[in-house]
Structure formats: structure tokens, C-alpha cells
Amino acid sequence: MLKAGRTVAQVAHDLQISDQTIYTWRRQSLVDAGQEPGLTSVEKAELASARRRIAELETELAIHRRATELLEEAVPQKPGSSRSRRWSRRDCRSRQRAGSWRCLGRGSTPGEAGHHRPARCGTPG
């Protein structure tokens, strides 16, 4: 309608919407045509979809973390086991080198063999 020569006020009155809405639509049309900088309608839709998915995944992660906490409280530990004995990067004194983790240790505790996981730290068993 604007390209046909009508004013923003006339179009807004005919459509019963605010002038600002017409200006917003016109600007987005120019962005989509590549005449102005900004995110295109397709990019905005993809970004909104990605943000929704991230929010869903964060919610799922929070649920799983809470379930893990509840299970750890409800299920008694086996005798002789403790959380500190679980494998972690700190247990094998790992460090990041050239984008991959390298295990520098050999056991769960100093002198104990077989603690590190080759798939995680990249060293042979």
C-alpha cells in the first residue's frame, strides 16, 4: 500500500493499527530485501526457535540434576565407596593440551592402577 503511494497514516487508519506498526513492518521489509542492516525475518525465526530449544534443554538438565540429587539422598552408598572416588579430570591430574585432555596419573589414588579412561583422557589403558 505504501509503494502504491498511500501515506503511513492512511494505511494505519484503514487497517486500524498504529503508525509505529506500519513503520516496523516497512523497516523489516527493507531488511529482508537487503537494503538495511539487521536480522532478516528468517534469521529472527531461527533465533527464536534456538532460544526456545535452549530453554527446553536447560529445563531438562535442571530436572535431571534434581533427580540425581534426590536419588543420591535416597539410595544408601555401598560400603567403602565415596563420591571422592569417582573418576574426574582432577583425579588423573589432567590438563588441556592442544585441545584434548591428557591423563598424567595412573590410578584412582596415587599408586593404584587402571583408573583413567582412555576414551575420556586420550591415553592408553
Which pLDDT tens digit goes with each residue over 31-73? Answer: 999 999 999 999 999 999 999 999 999 999 999 999 999 999 8
pLDDT value of residue 91: 47
Across the chain, mean pLDDT equals 78
Q: Which three cell numbers stand for residue 1?
A: 500500500
Whether residue 21 is predicted with pLDDT greater than 60 in this model: the reply is: yes
Q: Which three cell numbers stand for residue 4?
A: 502504491
Q: For the whole prediction, is pTM greater than 0.95?
A: no
DSSP-based three-state secondary structure for 18: coil
DSSP-based three-state secondary structure for 100: strand
Residue with the bigger pLDDT between 57 and 102: it is 57
